[in-house]
Structure 1
Amino acid sequence: MFQTVSESTLRGTRLPAKDNPLVQTRVVNSIREVGKEAWNACFEDEVEDFDCLLAIEEAGIEGFAWRYVTVIENGIVVAAMPAFITSYQLETTLEAGPVRRFIRRMRGFLPGILTLKLACLGSPCTETGKPGFCANVPPERQPDLLARLIAGFEKHADDEGCSLRGVKDIPEPCAPAFAPVFAQSGFASIPGLPTACLDVDFHSIESYLSRLSSGTRKDMRRKLKSFDRIRIETRTELADVMPRVLALYNATRNRSEWQFEALTAAYFAGILDRMSGKSFCTLYFAEDKLLAANILVHNESTLIDKFFCMDGEEGRAYDLYYLSWFANLRYCIDHRVARYQSGQAYYENKLRLGSRLTANTMYFKHRNRAVQWLLTLVSPMFGVDEPKGASS
């Protein structure tokens, strides 16, 4: 079921000066093969933990094969990252415009053009691709262990016939330690979508509103009146409304500029089931019509807004995006959650409402050096312009 990469396989990479024969890198096809305790020990305090990744694995998301990369030292998992293999269309991150339209027209004649088999560290369904390390691993050892993760995964990518390798959304706080490791391994970098979050260091909605600009505060007070016309339900099971939730999700996804993975009903049900006590869904009804659904996951310190999907016309008429924002802040206040993480995209509203942005970086590498040179040359077209307010 899994592939073990020996020390001899890793000799061509930049590794610690003192190799340990009891260290190995392993790539497996199911997170169950790593084990919940071992995985979570590398991702302490992370909301999107073993249960979240298992729900993603079991969701039947088309076009993705899941992998899990670990470094094992003396029988203990000391470093880990999720990963995936997929066929990647290079224009995925291009903004809507003539270049993307031209490439998609060309696909009508040459279906495989600018589509490469990609092996990528990180998950398409989690907020960032930050590597995890066991608590007893000192910070100075983390770059060496990351180098082993990369080397073992690249060997697996070779075996799987993946010409393109990637790393998804390394958050800015990790960059000083980890960017040199990616560079030494031959990866080039491009900006990813930043992550928006709001520190909930206020004790009431009124206190929060007082921090906003006078114009925004006035606008939000007007929008909050829509709460009188909306019925809100908090659920941990969606069987009776799942067809409608999935329809709202697909409609919202189709309105988005960037489309990668397409989630399934099994994903939504799996997150709520596998992450019992750490997830819920908020439903917004006008009379008996479901107009919006919001999937959220959390731990004691962070609430992550995973997906907000709504009826495009009627949802706007009731200001449901803003109602969901305030409903989520009320949850944080009531449960003493210190951080509300509202995810990627739609930054203008999030900045207006007081969020700060943390930059993320994507890395890529093609095993053909000439192709790598070409991709690096054109990579500014495929990167994401960093919105104002992104922190470093």
Structure 2
Amino acid sequence: MARLQACLETTPLGTSPHLPAHRGKSSMTVRLPLTARYFPTITDIAREDWNRLFAGHAEDFDYFRACETAAPNGIAASAIGVFEGERLIAAAPLFRTDYRLDMSLEGRLKPVGDWLHRNLPNLVVMPVLGIGSPLTEECPIGFDPGLTHMARTCAFYALIKGVEQHAAAEKIPLIALKDVTDRAAEWMTAPLDGRGFCRVGTLPLATLALPFKDEAEYLASLSASMRSDIRKKLRRAEKVEIEYRTSIDGIEEEIAALFQETRANRKADYGDLDNVPESYFREVMRNAKGNAVVMLARVDGQLVSFNIALIENDRVLAKYIGMRYPAAREHNLYFVNWMAMVRFCLERGITWMQPGQTSYRQKARLGCRLKRSYVYFKHRNPLINPFFQLFGPMMAFDKMEPDLQELGDSAPYLEPGAAP
């Protein structure tokens, strides 16, 4: 415990200048105290230093630089790093926004939240400093791969304390870690409990294992009714032509319009945290350096859908999809996109596909399992924080999501750590 307390002896935060890359070897342990530094932009950290902490991740320095350039309205992106001397050993993107505490309320409670937002906005809208990004589905905290478990825990403590210090300096009352999966929660929960954080469930991640040699074997893993349904839908989609590209030059406006059309047809709205600006698609595709692909579907030459995905060694992250209506229903474009991405993975020997959040009922029928995910949060005022801990469960997104409610106890959740 004394060693963990020493982890909190970080120096006061300040805005740091650009740091050159440090090319030393990873150490197995760390020398205390560690230093947490806030960076107004990720570009103040050397690309190779950042990527050393996120090795193998498609959501790397270039991805977060693109997200920062194309930050959604109401979101200010930045970063934090933890240093042992001048060596970066941990880092995470940050975002700042004004969050509606009643965002996840549905049913009879939603009109109450809307009334409070109109008449007493200060009660339901609160500035928040978040670890993560609105444009990721998993909380991205990177560590030097050579750290021991104890050293990583020390680095994590220092990172959290650094975020708390910056929030205090900026008078931001609420701190959150967005989309912590159950695998990370296994070791994060104890340190965060010790800092006064509590957690609520948020939207889980759908994950599809693909240990199949071909499409026929994948289809054979599904129920007979699902196989029959897919075959019927694909026969009705014979006019759809598929193309894979690594660039959206010349079609950026069409891509953005299709995304907005699909967003307008969704069941739920998550405000600024669900807002994807038009420039996001352009910036990600231009900066991905081969880690991104866009699947395009056309009917009679007209673009009717797209699916942007990030490619890792053994996993595809399906990020965003957009479809034209009513063509989406007429040509079963959801299933066309799904099967095209499954084929993409199988042809390349990729054994995991992560099709993200929402549409859980359909994804469960298509063979997906769900990774639990959480938001950890605290109010910096120790007198107010107990009320957040008491009423926080009312803000749980997973309890309000219609598909999860319908699935109920039959929702196919994975055991922690069962998927990458």
User: TM exceeds 0.5?
Assistant: yes
Distance 1:319 1:167 in 2: 37
1:7 aligns with 2:20: no
Q: Give how far 1:311 is off.
A: 2.5
1:381 aligns with 2:394: yes
- The 8 Å contact of residues 130 and 174 in structure 1, kept in 2 or not, is answered as no
The match for 2:314 is 301
The match for 1:20 is 32
Structure 2 residues not aligned, in runs of 5+: 1-7, 14-29, 405-410
Q: Give how far 1:384 is off.
A: 2.7
| Within-5 A mapping of 1:272-311 | 272-311=285-324
The match for 1:13 is none
- The 8 Å contact of residues 194 and 357 in structure 1, kept in 2 or not, is answered as yes
Q: Give how far 1:147 is off.
A: 0.7
Distance 1:310 1:43 in 2: 32
Counterpart amino acid of residue 246 in structure 1: A
Counterpart amino acid of residue 356 in structure 1: R
The match for 1:187 is 197
Choose which of 77, 83, 88 in structure 2 pairs with 1:66.
77
Q: Give how far 1:24 is off.
A: 0.8
Distance 1:226 1:159 in 2: 59
The match for 2:257 is 247
Choose which of 105, 118, 122 in structure 1 pairs with 2:132.
122
1:197 aligns with 2:200: no
Identity of aligned residues (%): 28
- The 8 Å contact of residues 283 and 290 in structure 1, kept in 2 or not, is answered as yes
The match for 1:32 is 43
Q: Give how far 1:233 is off.
A: 2.4
The match for 2:169 is 159
Distance 1:352 1:221 in 2: 14
- The 8 Å contact of residues 116 and 124 in structure 2, kept in 1 or not, is answered as no
The match for 2:385 is 372
Distance 2:123 2:248 in 1: 40
1:390 aligns with 2:409: no
Distance 1:313 1:379 in 2: 39
Distance 1:20 1:373 in 2: 32
Q: Give how far 1:234 is off.
A: 2.1
The match for 1:87 is 98
Distance 2:236 2:348 in 1: 24
Distance 2:71 2:130 in 1: 18
- The 8 Å contact of residues 47 and 302 in structure 1, kept in 2 or not, is answered as no
Q: Secondary structure at the match of 1:240?
A: coil
Q: Give how far 1:19 is off.
A: 6.6
- The 8 Å contact of residues 305 and 342 in structure 1, kept in 2 or not, is answered as yes
| Within-5 A mapping of 1:218-367 | 218-256=228-266, 257-259=268-270, 260-367=273-380
- The 8 Å contact of residues 67 and 84 in structure 1, kept in 2 or not, is answered as yes
- The 8 Å contact of residues 122 and 168 in structure 1, kept in 2 or not, is answered as yes
Distance 1:247 1:133 in 2: 38
Query: What is the TM-score with the length of structure 1 in the denominator?
Result: 0.91
- The 8 Å contact of residues 98 and 126 in structure 2, kept in 1 or not, is answered as yes
- The 8 Å contact of residues 181 and 373 in structure 2, kept in 1 or not, is answered as yes
- The 8 Å contact of residues 297 and 306 in structure 1, kept in 2 or not, is answered as yes
The change in CA–CA distance for 1:371 and 1:252 in structure 2 (over 3 A counts) is: farther
Comparing 130-139 with 108-117, greater Cα deviation is found at 108-117
Structure 1 residues not aligned, in runs of 5+: 11-17
Q: Give how far 1:75 is off.
A: 1.6
- The 8 Å contact of residues 237 and 332 in structure 2, kept in 1 or not, is answered as no
CA RMSD of aligned residues (A): 1.9
**What is the number of residues matched between the two proteins?**
379
Q: Give how far 1:60 is off.
A: 4.1
Q: Give how far 1:138 is off.
A: 1.2
The match for 1:172 is 182
Q: Which 4+ stretches in 1 moved above 4 angstroms? A: none
Counterpart amino acid of residue 95 in structure 2: F
Q: Give how far 1:98 is off.
A: 2.7
Choose which of 133, 144, 157 in structure 1 pairs with 2:154.
144
The match for 2:60 is 49
Distance 2:244 2:35 in 1: 45
Q: Give how far 1:184 is off.
A: 0.4
Counterpart amino acid of residue 285 in structure 2: L
Query: What is the TM-score with the length of structure 2 in the denominator?
Result: 0.86
